[in-house]
Structure 1
Amino acid sequence: MGLRTAEQYKSSLRDGRAVFFRGERVADVTAHPVIGIAVEHAALDYRMAHDPKYRDLAVVKEGADEYSRYYHVPQNGDDLLKRSRLIAAATREGATLVVLIKEIGTDAILALHIIGEQLAAAGKPEYRERIRNYYRNCRDNDLAVAVAQTDAKGDRALGPTQQDHPDYYVRIVEERPDGIVVRGAKVHTSVATNTNEVIVLPTRAMRAEDQAYAVAFALPINTPGLKLLASPHGSSHKNDFEHPISARHKMMETLTVFDDVFVPKERVFLQGEIEFAGLLALTFVRFHRFTAVSYKLPLLELMAGAGHAIAEANGISRAGHVRDKLTHLAAYHTTVRGLIEHAARSCTLEDGVAVPNTLLTNVAKYHFAHNYHQAVQIVQDLAGGLLVTGPAAEDLTSEATGAYVLKYMGGAKGFDAEKRLRLLNLIGDLTSSDFGGYQEVLAVHAEGGFEAEKLQAYREYDFKTVAAYARKLAGID
């Protein structure tokens, strides 16, 4: 098929998929008042591929063939930098909300490439061939692909087989000559309502008794028995004036249920090989945290830019404490950007795939997540209480109230009431709305929480060498 248009992408979503919103089945996700916003947001990826401004970045040419850069298997640091810049550009077009319609799926495909080679080396080349065929299908048909990894888990202190019921983790319940049947559920599956495929990965290392849970596969979203329960968070009606970001940009999250779903053999990538389950989970994370930091960069740009703009509008930009706060925002953004660029440049080649530096990627992700709430605090401090007490859009246009808004809501010279309110509403949408709360929760939990990032950084750091240096200077053999 080659590169699809936005309209072709949207048309592909009308396929009878089982999507539920507030308990009711959705007949057409493209026409739904909430999910339809997420569809239009995701279509940005397809529009960018045909936009002369982005085409050289968004599209890879190999002879007469063209395909999305997301599907390009990186061979070096330059490939990873271009991937990162495309993710950031798409997020910038999405007004700081990541598109994720191909980013996360290709993170999983890159991880599967590496694990497929290792499975082949272990005497199971059939998995490698299935992964390669699946990759080519997604690339050549320009598919949108979600990833379902996090299991429902139940009691987190217990393993999969120790739970009150066996379906808190997705598992194989039947093996057939032509495939497997799976049951269970995954949580916070991003973009699944408006994607073409979903890749399912293990969420943890498995023990011998967990063999049925060591499973990875891919399915079309309209597969019988696959059900998507869409989260209603942030679904209230919004206008562009008060919510300039979230009125037009949205990403859906789902509880993804596998109700005895049949998976054809050619789409099974792991079937009981417990020694590869944890490795696949961690390899996916190595790519996905790189994606995560890349898509956070426009958000940090906006934090610094909005902080500076509102300080000017409020007439406080020359105050010493304000310059100090703006410097903090600038340093925050610059540090995260520098770390992820260095992670790309210091990549390693593993089984034919360039992998971002894992230590730097995790340090970048931790630095972002650990400091995000402080950045929100700074921008809210610079903006003032009008973030939550200001007049409505209707007050500005009403004959009864408009004159008062225009008279009293102005700011420093050059910032009339409407300009100042637009800045305040932008910051309010970003930091004090349900969208702002969504971003704050993502900062803590998306792509792995604080402890996961710290643990991975601890594992990757070369303590042996630096401890030897310390012992040498201390005069210890």
Structure 2
Amino acid sequence: MAARTGREFLNGLSKPRELWVGDDKVSDIVSHPAFAGAANTMAQIFDLQHQARDVCLMPDPETGEPINASHMIPRSRADLERRHACLRTIAEFTVGLMGRTPDYMNVTFAGFAGRADEWAVNGNERGASNLVAYQKFLARNDISLTHTIIHPTIDKAKGDVPEPGNEVALHKVADTAHGIVVRGARILATLAPFADEIAVYPAVPLMAGTDAYALSFCVPMNTPGLKFICRDSCATPPNKFDHPLSSRFDEQDAFVIFDDVEVPRDRVFIDANLVAYNTVMATGWYPNIMQQTMIRAQTKLEFAYGLATRMAEAINDASPATRQMLGEIWTYAEFARAVIHSAELEAFEYGNGVWFPNGPPLAALRAALPTWFPRVAEIITLIGSHNLLAAPTQAQLADPKLRPLIDRYLRGAGDLKAEERAQIFRLAWDFVGSALASRNELYERFYLASGARNYQLAHVLAPKDRARRLVDGILGAQPKVVDEHEVLERRKINLPGEIRR
């Protein structure tokens, strides 16, 4: 099939699935008011790859058919630059508000397949082979893939991983002639209503004796026994003037129940193999996926800076306090740009001929974002003040009796018309004050672990040789000589289990 169009994507959503939102068991994803806006946005993203084909499409290495560049297994620094251009194009379309567009999982599985040697440990050669085959299927059929990797929290005092005998966490219950049967639950499948398939793969390492929970696989969303319970919808009616973001970008999140789901043998990547489960995410996964997600974050920060600037201009706010806050947002965006550039410039081969960006700069940026994004929302709120609550709707502007009054009393500074001012501040409210804004702030605080865990990770990954040498110089200690090979090995990420998420 190769790269799909938006229409082909929407047709794929017609397959029935057990999915609930609010009071509804949804039978038609495309037309349901909770999903219609984001479904249309997703279709536009699939069309975008054809409109920007020089940037977003590349030939499949084996078939020559056009596939999205996010499926690329990078084997050079130039490949990472090529992929960057595609990821940035997709991120700009949603101004960074959709964190789980299909390119996220495309990049993830390209990284997994590129390091299939890591997945083949401890006798897991068949699982690794299945994974490589699935990644080709994912790319060549342009599948929209979601994932669910976290065990549900029932009793926080018992930790983040299941103990033996835990019936809630996803686990294997049987072998069949065709595969395995799994039961339990996982969270949180972002993009679930708009996915063709769902992936399960490792997160926090498991403890000894929990082999039944050591699973990785992919299955279609309509697989018997799969059930999805969506959070309350943040979607609003399809009016881009009144709701420019929440009418388009609610990517949804779902709790996933596996009610005795049979997984075909060729879709199983880890089958109760604890050693493989606990090691495959420890090296290349982090810097690989961080390229995608940090490009998205940078785009969102740049959008926020542009929005805040337009707000200030709309009311001619050139006060020192506002200029300082605008400069603060720009600083975050510029730091993000510089970090990504540095990580890509310092990319190297992680093994098996696969290149990923340098991990520590990306780890530092990821640790800062859960603080930066709430602060950005606070700044936009402070600049907007009461103006965020005084932005007429499109219908109010269309009222012949109201419009002259709105034009007189709600115009912007200089020659900015009331309609333009309303549009700017309604956009700002949708970014910081709507239900979607609250969901997105929660997302930025906790996706890929909390800020606290990421600061711990940043410390673990931080290169320490130069810092220690500077201290040792003052203490009068003899500096240690480190050869180039040792430096390269230290640059490779080895995520500690307690903070890997």
Measured against the shorter chain, the TM-score band is over 0.9
CA distance 1:119–1:310, change in 2 (3 Å): closer
| 1:190-209 superposed matches below 5 A | 190-209=190-209
Per-residue CA deviations over 1:372-420 (Å, capped at 9, x if unaligned) read 1222222222222120244343332223322221110012112121111
State the AA in 2 paired with 1:55: R
Shift of the alpha carbon at 1:195? Answer: 1.1
2:67–2:139 Cα contact (<8 Å) kept:
yes
Task: Name the CA distance, whole Å, in 1 between partners of 2:419 and 2:355.
Answer: 49
Structure 1 letter corresponding to 2:410: M
Q: Is 1:12–1:196's contact at 8 Å kept on the other side of the alignment?
A: yes
Aligned twin of 1:266: 266
Partner of 1:428: 429
1:56 and 2:45 are equivalent in the alignment: no
On the 8 A contact 2:430/2:436 being kept in 1, the answer is yes
What amino acid does structure 2 have at the position aligned with 1:150? I
d(CA) in 2 for partners of 1:286 and 1:158? 30
Give the Cα separation in 2 of the matches to 1:178 and 1:464: 52
Q: Tell me which amino acid in the other structure corresponds to 1:148.
A: T
- Please name the residue that 2:297 is paired with: 296
Q: Which moved more, 1:91-100 or 1:397-406?
A: 91-100
After the TM superposition, which residues 458-469 of structure 1 pair with which residues of structure 2 at under 5 Å, given as runs?
Answer: 458-469=459-470
Q: Relative to 1, partners in 2 of residues 1:273 and 1:121: Cα closer, same or farther, differing over 3 Å?
A: closer
**Is contact 1:289-1:361 (8 Å) kept?**
yes
- CA positional deviation for 1:36: 2.0
1:240 aligns with 2:221: no
Alignment partner, residue 394 of structure 1 = 395
Give the secondary structure class of the aligned counterpart of 1:385.
helix
* 1:249 to partner: Cα distance: 2.6
Paired amino acid for 2:429: G
Q: Which residue of 1 aligns with 2:491?
A: none
Residue 211 (structure 2) aligns with: 211
Shift of 1:208: 1.6
CA distance in 2, matches of 1:388, 1:288: 38
In the alignment, is the contact (CA less than 8 A) between 1:289 and 1:447 conserved in 2? Answer: no
Rounded to whole Å, the distance in 1 between the matches of 2:119 and 2:400 is 71
Unaligned runs of 5+ in 1: none
In the alignment of these two chains, the number of paired residues is 473
Matched residues in 1 for 2:440 and 2:120: separation? 40
Separation in structure 1 between the aligned mates of residue 449 and residue 340 of structure 2, nearest angstrom = 17
TM-score normalised according to structure 1 size? 0.93
Q: What letter corresponds to residue 186 of structure 2 in structure 1?
A: K
Paired residues of 2:18 and 2:222 also in contact (CA < 8 A): yes
Q: Quick one: which amino acid aligns to residue 450 of structure 1? A: G
Superposed CA deviations along residues 244-289 of structure 1, whole A, max 9, x for unmatched, are: 1211332121111111101111111111221232333445444333
Deviation at 1:71, TM superposition (A): 0.9
Of all paired residues, the percent bearing the same amino acid is: 21
SS at match of 1:180: strand
Paired residue type of 2:456? L
Report the Cα distance in structure 1 between the residues aligned to 2:115 and 2:211, rounded to whole angstroms: 17
CA drift at 1:177: 4.6
Distance 1:156 1:87, change over 3 A: farther
Q: Is the 8 A contact 1:167 1:185 kept in 2?
A: no
Aligned equivalent of 2:363 = 362
Q: For 1:99 and 1:365, locate their aligned partners in 2 and report how far apart those are by CA, in whole Å.
A: 14
Q: 8 Å contact 2:237–2:243 — kept in the other structure?
A: no
Tell me if the contact between 2:104 and 2:293 (Cα under 8 Å) persists in the aligned partners. no
- Give CA deviations for 1:439-469 in whole Å, capped at 9, x if unaligned: 2112201222112211221111122552244
Once the two structures are superposed, the pairs formed by residues 91-240 of structure 1 within 5 Å of their partners are 91-98=91-98, 100-113=100-113, 116-120=116-120, 122-158=122-158, 160-162=161-163, 166-237=166-237, 239-240=239-240
Aligned counterparts of 2:363 and 2:345: Cα–Cα separation in 1? 15
Task: Mark the runs of 5 or more structure 2 residues left unpaired by the alignment.
Answer: 479-501
Q: Report how far residue 198 of structure 1 moved.
A: 1.1
- SS of aligned partner of 2:317: coil
Letter of the structure 2 residue corresponding to residue 391 of structure 1: P
1:20 match: secondary structure: strand
Q: TM-score, normalised by structure 2?
A: 0.89
Alpha-carbon contact 2:231-2:253 (below 8 Å) kept: yes
Letter in 1 for 2:388: L
| CA shift in 2, pair 1:58/1:305, >3 Å | same
In 2, Cα distance between the equivalents of 1:119 and 1:11? 34
User: Where does residue 437 of structure 1 map in the other structure?
Assistant: 438
Would you say the 8 A contact 1:150–1:188 is kept in 2?
yes
Q: Read off the aligned partner of 1:90 and give its amino acid letter.
A: I
SS across alignment from 2:158: coil
Q: Following TM superposition, where does structure 1 have runs of at least 4 consecutive aligned residues deviating by more than 6 angstroms? A: none
1:23-66 CA-to-partner distances (Å, cap 9, x unmatched) read: 43211211212212221121233111210xx2111101258432
Distance 2:6 2:42 in 1: 9
Matched-pair contact (CA < 8 Å) for 2:214–2:273: yes
- 1:411, 1:386 → 2: CA distance? 11
- 1:157 is paired with a residue whose SS is helix
Partner Cα separation in structure 1 for residue 287 and residue 256 of structure 2: 23
Decide whether the 8 Å contact of 1:161 with 1:209 is kept in 2. no
